[in-house]
Amino acid sequence: MRNSPLAAAALFLLVGAVTASAQTRPCLHGANESRADRTRREKAVELAHEINGAQQALRRFRFRSDEGGYAPLDQLRVSAPPDGFRVQLNTDGTTYSFSIKDMMDPCFYAVFSDQSGDVYEATPAPLKPRTKLLSAR
């Protein structure tokens, strides 16, 4: 299978466009965070703690009843995510991890956690195109 120089160029342009888009609009969460965005962010962090608490309570209950461990998001009694945030939770029953991403933030702010209960807030590392063209042989 050959690598197409055209495909590599298209990928490079796409990565550049996404990076430029994020750089032209200011981040919603940071030094110049508005009161409304701060409230949304704080609610996302509270939701993360709420999800961890619900998972731990469920695990204690299920442990005593031999039903297993952690549950998917739709089986937890937790608040709805703040406006503009999306929750994704993955579990295999013995572990779980989730992210709560601000879909309105050009800098892709997110809150995430797992069964450890530690809650993290972050934005992704800057995009650095890592393209390696392979010669066709």
Per-residue confidence in pLDDT tens, the chain, 137 aa: 455 555 555 545 555 545 444 458 899 999 899 999 999 999 999 999 999 999 999 988 765 555 668 999 999 999 999 999 999 999 998 899 999 999 999 999 999 999 999 999 999 887 666 666 666 65
Residue 59: per-residue pLDDT: 87
Beta strands in the chain (DSSP E): 85-91, 96-102, 110-114, 119-122
131: in domain: no
117: in domain: yes
State the amino acid at position 101 in one-letter form. Answer: K
100: in domain: yes
| CA-based nearest residue to 99, from 126, 71, 122, 133 | 122
84: in domain: yes
127: in domain: no
90: in domain: yes
59: in domain: yes
Total domains in the chain come to: 1
Structural domain of 109? 5-122
Residue 135: per-residue pLDDT: 66
Residue 125: per-residue pLDDT: 81
Residue 133: per-residue pLDDT: 65
Residue 24: per-residue pLDDT: 81
Residue 22: per-residue pLDDT: 47
71: in domain: yes
A 10 A CB-CB count for 43 gives: 19
